[in-house]
């Protein structure tokens, strides 16, 4: 089973904390006005965990997909 990294856009306030912690994983898309996860083959677990635990709105999480 594969896991994908998700940002719940409905709860995200675009505080940019995730970008500060992990700029190679998260970015703000100025065209859409939303935070996005950069599509990578593999995500460094420790850095992702830092972004997850420091998100003030708890809107970053892993989702299992088949």
**Pairwise CA distance, residues 48 & 54, whole Å:** 10
The pLDDT of residue 50 = 98
- Percentages helix, strand, coil for the chain (3-state, rounded to 5) are 25, 30, 45
DSSP state of 56: T
Chain centroid to CA 65: how far?
17
Tens-digit pLDDT profile for residues 26-62: 999 999 999 999 999 999 999 999 999 999 999 999 9
pLDDT at residue 2 above 90?
A: no
The pLDDT of residue 38 = 97
The C-alpha torsion from 38 through 39 and 41 to 47, rounded to 10°, is: 20
The pLDDT of residue 29 = 97
The pLDDT of residue 49 = 97
pLDDT band for position 1 (50/70/90)?
A: confident
- Structure tokens belonging to residue 15: 């505080």
């Amino acid at each position: 089973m594969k896991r994908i990294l998700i940002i719940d856009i409905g709860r995200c306030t675009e505080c940019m904390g995730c970008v500060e912690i992990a700029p190679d994983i998260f970015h703000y898309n100025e065209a859409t006005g939303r935070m996005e996860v950069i599509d990578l083959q593999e995500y460094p677990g420790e850095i992702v965990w830092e972004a997850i635990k420091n998100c003030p709105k708890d809107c970053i999480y892993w989702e299992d997909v088949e």
